[in-house]
Chains A and B, each alone.
Chain A
Amino acid sequence: AQSVTQLDSHVSVSEGTPVLLRCNYSSSYSPSLFWYVQHPNKGLQLLLKYTSAATLVKGINGFEAEFKKSETSFHLTKPSAHMSDAAEYFCVVTAFYNQGGKLIFGQGTELSVKP
């Protein structure tokens, strides 16, 4: 069965410093992996997705993630945090190989950004 584990429930960084949000996955096939962001009282916005085309995936707002099969990881990074990055981030995997209709979410990582 597919699953994702976000290794930190809360990460705090200072504005201008790098961001690292960690995610490990478990999959019986080559997965589709996503990072979504949720700002307070808002829906989910797609940051980036991996679908086996390239292991380093670039997303919106300067975020990127690297798919490492040997480590079963899909960590999200950003070189320099901005105050507007404060939000909850979800690492997500599709439940089925050929369908995108069911997603399995990690528990989320709350990112705080200090001035």
Chain B
Amino acid sequence: KAGVTQTPRYLIKTRGQQVTLSCSPISGHRSVSWYQQTPGQGLQFLFEYFSETQRNKGNFPGRFSGRQFSNSRSEMNVSTLELGDSALYLCASTTGGRDTQYFGPGTRLTVL
């Protein structure tokens, strides 16, 4: 089975711009979660989508949003980028129950 894929792998943006990241889960997985990883804050949960609905949400401002499509692929959008949004963004997929989450390689976002 193919693993979780994320595109693009690297992005450079400037403050005030917006960005969209994409995540394709493992085939058959209906849950996609997004995490932000920074040196100062570690790994923090952004949100989870399950069957096209946001099921859980972390403590991030409204500039961070996401969606999930009928094929379970998910996108994450960050509007009005700030320098502090520079991070590795990881997505993970699972079947939706208590099964293991499998992570993608991440998208490295740099905001200048």
Contact = CB atoms under 8 A, between A and B. Distances in A.
* Chain A complexes with chain B: yes
Interface string A94-107: 11111111111111
Interface stretch (A20-28, A41-49, A63-71): A41-49
Interface of B: 4, 31, 33, 35, 42-45, 48, 50, 55-56, 58, 90, 92, 94-106
Q: Classify the interface of chain A: helix, strand, loop or mixed.
A: loop
Contacts of B102: 46
A95 B100 contact: no
Given A100-B98, A100-B101, A103-B101, 13 more contacts: A34-B100, A43-B106, A45-B103, A49-B100, A90-B43, A99-B56, A99-B98, A100-B94, A101-B33, A101-B50, A101-B94, A102-B33, A106-B42
Contacts of A96: 56
A107 B43 CA distance: 8
Interface of A: 32, 34, 36, 42-46, 49, 51, 90, 94-108
